[in-house]
Amino acid sequence: MLQVGDRAPEIALRTDSGEEFQLSALKGKRVVLYFYPRANTPGCTIEACEFRDDAQQFAKKGATVVGVSPDKQAAQAKFKDKFTLPFTLLADQDKAAAQAYGVWKEKTMYGKKVMGVERSTFVIGPDGRIEKIYAKVKAAGHAAEVLAEL
């Protein structure tokens, strides 16, 4: 399990626009990396729209917001366009990033055990180290909580 002070695992994924993304390319910037279970679902939409609505405040604090889910690149693009999200969404189809960050977990849904993303956020400092971890996040109000603690 990752801890505050650990070096953030590298991520190399496709963006919502199909471009190659590497987390290390953002070295020198503070990154708010948030993992969500599925694009265009109620909780994930609430969370994404709150990050969208606070995007200028995150930018003023020097933070780059990046969202990650196991969705395909096309689903990420549709989600981004539908809700006018001003930040990058990453397609983690093989769940490599979710596993590296320890957020691919067994969950109970409708009485069944299933594997899925546990909604979590990592604040990564300019030095590439984890500054803050938010686990088992509730979607509503989360962006404001992260913003207040930056």
Contact by Cβ (8 Å): 70, 38: yes
Could you say which of 26, 32, 33, 44 is catalytic? 44
Q: How far apart (Å, rounded) are the C-alpha atoms in residues 110 and 104? A: 18
pLDDT at 1: 86
The crossing angle, in degrees rounded to 10, of helices 42-53 and 142-149 is 40
This prediction's pTM: 0.95
Is the predicted pLDDT of residue 112 greater than 90, yes or no?
no
| Domain spans of the chain, in order of start | 12-149
Q: Which CATH superfamily is domain 12-149 in?
A: Glutaredoxin (3.40.30.10)
Kindly give, in sequence order, each residue whose CB lies less than 8 Å from that of residue 150, ignoring residues fewer than 6 positions away.
30, 32, 58, 61, 63, 123
Decide if 49 is catalytic: no
Q: How far apart (Å, rounded) are the C-alpha atoms in residues 30 and 150? A: 9
pLDDT at 29: 96
For 28-69, how does the pLDDT look when each residue is reduced to its tens digit (9 = 90+)?
999 999 999 999 999 999 999 999 999 999 999 999 999 999
Contact by Cβ (8 Å): 67, 92: no
Q: How far apart (Å, rounded) are the C-alpha atoms in residues 41 and 54? A: 20
